[in-house]
Structure 1
Amino acid sequence: MVRGRRADTRRKRGTRGQTGKDGSSMESRWAWWLAVAGWTVRVVMFPVIVLSVRRPTTCLAWLAVVFFEPWVGAPLYALLGGIRLGRRRLEQRVRLALRYHPPATSTQQAITEAERRLKADRRVLAGLAQRVGGLPPVSGNAVTLTADSQAFVDQLIADIDAATDHAHLLFYIYRDDYVGRAVSDALIRAAARGVTCRVLVDAVGARPIARRLAPQMQRQGVQVVFALPANVIRRRFARIDVRNHRKIAVIDGRIGYTGSQNIVEPTYGHRRAGEWHDIMARIRGPAVNHLQQIFVEDWFYETGEPLAPDDAVGQRYFPVPEQAGETTLQVIPTGPDRPTENFSYLMVEAIHQARRRVVVTSPYFVPDEPLFLALKLAALRGLDVRIILPKKSDHPVVHAAAMFYCRELFNSGVRILRYRDGLLHAKTLTTDERFGFFGTANFDIRSFHLNFEVNVQTFDPDLIHQLLALQEDYIRRCDEMTALVWHRRPRWKYLAEECAKLLSPLL
């Protein structure tokens, strides 16, 4: 009996041992297959990334993410990697850029006069900008800059209320707040008078109006279209974080607006960084035709509705412009449908031509290598180089990366000023009193190489002085980073900034 029990015990132990060995073997096989699958993903993704991403730093960053964690990196790259609109949609945008130029006779005089006025060095910048955006400089414009958000909204509503034919709006953010509702009410009133009202908004930035405000506008006769839907089901069309970041309004083809302000109350994001401070330009003259062209291209791209297929419609949307003033402007549309690196080269050339002073304002500052070196070399040449950023940001990782670059530039002699009265959202660049630049593009890699943006450059002394006056007002409300301030910063901030810099090619 005892021997029988002992034998049963040995058999049970042997069974449990065999089961343990089988389980361990199964786990080993799963681990082996998982390792093989992981390396298969790495090997497959290597040529995909290398052949798709042109910029070496961005390419290396994506490879590092995929090789470190392939099961996270590969899906992230599928959603966010590369600059893709889809082959057919990209070809469509290129055809539109050739098709929807304003009638040559409507702006030829303004183009000729602008070329006559430009000096040799400025012609270099104008030519480079034309290669970037495809549009020449035009003279005969009247421009009013405003940094008062409510004043811009009031003037826009007044112009919509006075519209007789059409009102076209293209904005990245459009919110269902008192500003959004006020502009929407003006559009509804205009539609009731028989004015054609079209609103094109980014599908991500204006998502909150999709539920209530947009349907209300559509029921009242205002056409509302959401650009670049960020829908995973539509992955064959584009990466989901390519956004239309433009801000444009065109009224009757005679009045245009562009700048950094969205259709949103200035306290948007107040909890994180404070009230937003923007710059908007109200333009009359030939440059309005170029803003209209950008809207027409984007509208057709999203809807398939041609707004300028013949002479009659062309005259409606591209009327012969009035000579409203003496200012020469050059509108510069950029996006992944154009050679994106040229936009960065334009900034580099403008800084290279500076002789005394360079001032940059931007809410987000993650420069690519050419811009970073241009700013550093300008300071080393003895120029007064100032970068103005908000003291608090609504994007902590981007802000940490910005502070890394600022620290490096500070060590080369660049003055870093931090705006303390809210989120400075204006994007401007001035060099001496010879060049001025403003628009929708931040001074970061995303704006330079990814998003659809629209910017304006000018060589007009009066408009440049307006920009300089606004920049001086910002400087008076800044705290400057000194060597002592840098030295007293907590060590953990340095660590966070050094880590954030690794992500800068992806921001």
Structure 2
Amino acid sequence: MTTFYTVLSWLLIFGYWLLIAGVTLRILMKRRAVPSAMAWLLIIYILPLVGIIAYLSFGELHLGKRRAERARTMWPSTARWLSDLKSCHHIFADENSDVARSLFQLCENRQGVAGVKGNQLQLLTSTDDTLQALVRDIQLARHNIEMVFYIWQPGGKADEVAEALMAAARRGVHCRLMLDSAGSVQFFRSPWATMMRNAGVDVVESLKVSLMRVFLRRMDLRQHRKVVLIDNYVAYTGSMNLVDPRYFKQDAGVGQWIDLMARMEGPVATTMGIIYSCDWEIETGKRILPPPPDANIMPFEQESGHTIQVIASGPGFPEDLIHQALLTAVYSAREQLIMTTPYFVPSEDLLHAICTAALRGVDVSIIVPRHNDSLLVGWASRAFFAELLAAGVKIYQFEDGLLHTKSVLVDGQLSLVGTVNLDMRSLWLNFEITLVIDDDGFGDDLAHVQDDYIARSRLVDAQRWSRRAYWQRIAERLFYFFSPLL
């Protein structure tokens, strides 16, 4: 009996170390960033069982077998659709400004479609204005409405959008609504999901959260896009979830959320529509390729229309493109670079690019919220401040709520607006969307918004920052250790 238990003990120990060795080899074989690999290895060696379970759950990009298969099978038809779209030569821009040229070439080469011109574009800087415009456009819809949001939380003016959407479905408009399961948990627990379905809205709960699926798909992979498409012509995207900030996270102690949305008319709605159709097919298995663009889809002449490129990221889309686009934009800056983000945990490459821009004389400003709803990200982001300040980057901490706007402005000409945070999750994991706009008029509008944010912020003083308490430095470094995993 003693021999049996001895053998069993040695077998368990051998199996235990074999498991650790197997996971270690798997991490090393994956071509991931060195800081991320080191962080995972340290977690696994310090807390082996917890670390192994965490890595198998969150360490790799598991879309799930069924969704991954859909992502593979949808591309032949999508490629044919894009090929047909390219025959509409009149909607594509054939030239760009000097500062935007490299980024537009990158996006065209990797996504297979150039930026589109002749779009009308409007910045919406208040939630009330955005929701009112959205209700008005839904009421005018005649054929189809497609929506995807990370969070839809009932309450306030969000309910007015829900009522308008149900009314549209009742009068025969084809309405599709896709919401992230984790972000919109309160919506799916409320009566609104059933009410919408009864009204004829096709409601889909995307990437459902379940303990039964924890090893089949990565649970923290989220549908983070915010997109509205109406009649294949009007489009919205930006940082705003479908919430009324007066009813959203009031107990978080960070104030109301401050967002930015873009309302567009023109051919950009067609390129955004193909992204939505891919998301819908990956999630439901149903194909809803948008119709070919109408010959009259571009009523705005070149001199009055904006040139826009749409970047999509996430499983099934060009890998690392968002990260490459940000690096290209930063390295294109010659005079000024302004970035706003609620969550600042950049990659080493992006941090290096930002610091390099400041060191070569570019006026670089980063605007982040002073108080963050994520304790981990709030502390981790501060670990980068010293290096940024030493390079001459100006850091502004927004004090009038939680600044949730994600924007980049380069030399007043090249703008990036969308759903992408400057953190690892947005850059390499989630389904995201970003508009790239090559237009100095839009750049002026965005600059005015960013100037307003700066006026409501406090500039971080480099000398005062260097004298911060020692315990704060320890906390920053501790949370920085987890930054590759955030």
Q: TM-score range by the shorter chain?
A: over 0.9
Which protein is richer in helix relative to its size? 1
3-state SS, counterpart of residue 405 of structure 2: coil
- Deviation track 1:95-146 (CA, whole Å, cap 9, x = no partner) reads 43452345426743111xx11x314553321011234444420100000001
3-state SS, counterpart of residue 43 of structure 1: helix
Indicate conservation of the 8 Å contact 1:246/1:452, yes or no.
Answer: yes
2: distance between equivalents of 1:488 and 1:271? 32
Alignment of 1:113-192 (within 5 A): 114-115=93-94, 117-119=95-97, 122-192=100-170
Aligned to 1:271: 251
Asked whether 1:295 is paired with 2:295, we answer no
Asked whether 1:52 is paired with 2:30, we answer yes
Aligned to 2:181: 203
Aligned to 1:450: 429
User: 1:70: Cα distance to partner?
Assistant: 1.2
Aligned to 1:475: 454
User: 1:382: Cα distance to partner?
Assistant: 1.9
User: Aligned in 2, Cα 1:471/1:89: closer, same or farther, shift over 3 Å?
Assistant: same
2: distance between equivalents of 1:506 and 1:107? 43
User: 1:485: Cα distance to partner?
Assistant: 2.8
User: 1:337: Cα distance to partner?
Assistant: 2.4
Alignment of 1:84-483 (within 5 A): 84-86=62-64, 89-100=67-78, 101=81, 103-104=84-85, 107-111=88-92, 114-115=93-94, 117-119=95-97, 122-211=100-189, 212-235=191-214, 237-267=216-246, 268-272=248-252, 273-308=254-289, 314-315=291-292, 318-320=293-295, 321-324=297-300, 325-483=304-462
Indicate conservation of the 8 Å contact 1:441/1:453, yes or no.
Answer: yes
User: Aligned in 2, Cα 1:417/1:118: closer, same or farther, shift over 3 Å?
Assistant: same
Indicate conservation of the 8 Å contact 1:436/1:458, yes or no.
Answer: yes
- Deviation track 1:150-176 (CA, whole Å, cap 9, x = no partner) reads 110010011001111111111111112
3-state SS, counterpart of residue 391 of structure 2: coil
**RMSD between aligned alpha carbons?**
2.3
Q: TM-score, normalised by structure 1?
A: 0.89
Q: TM-score, normalised by structure 2?
A: 0.92
User: Aligned in 2, Cα 1:236/1:400: closer, same or farther, shift over 3 Å?
Assistant: closer
Indicate conservation of the 8 Å contact 1:362/1:443, yes or no.
Answer: yes
**How many residue pairs are counted as aligned between the two chains?**
476
3-state SS, counterpart of residue 366 of structure 1: coil
User: Aligned in 2, Cα 1:347/1:239: closer, same or farther, shift over 3 Å?
Assistant: same
Indicate conservation of the 8 Å contact 2:313/2:321, yes or no.
Answer: no
User: Aligned in 2, Cα 1:132/1:440: closer, same or farther, shift over 3 Å?
Assistant: farther
Indicate conservation of the 8 Å contact 1:53/1:82, yes or no.
Answer: no
Q: Which amino acid letter does the alignment assign opposite residue 68 of structure 1?
A: I
- Deviation track 1:241-282 (CA, whole Å, cap 9, x = no partner) reads 111100000011110001000101124223321111111000
- Larger-Rg structure: 1
2: distance between equivalents of 1:412 and 1:497? 19
Identity of aligned residues (%): 33
Indicate conservation of the 8 Å contact 1:340/1:448, yes or no.
Answer: no
Indicate conservation of the 8 Å contact 1:362/1:426, yes or no.
Answer: yes
3-state SS, counterpart of residue 500 of structure 1: helix
- Deviation track 1:427-467 (CA, whole Å, cap 9, x = no partner) reads 01111122111100001111110001000011111111111
- Deviation track 1:367-395 (CA, whole Å, cap 9, x = no partner) reads 01111100111111122111100000000
3-state SS, counterpart of residue 251 of structure 2: helix
2: distance between equivalents of 1:31 and 1:490? 49
Aligned to 1:7: none
Which runs of no fewer than 5 residues in structure 1 stay unpaired? 1-21
Indicate conservation of the 8 Å contact 1:130/1:332, yes or no.
Answer: no
Q: Which amino acid letter does the alignment assign opposite residue 322 of structure 1?
A: M
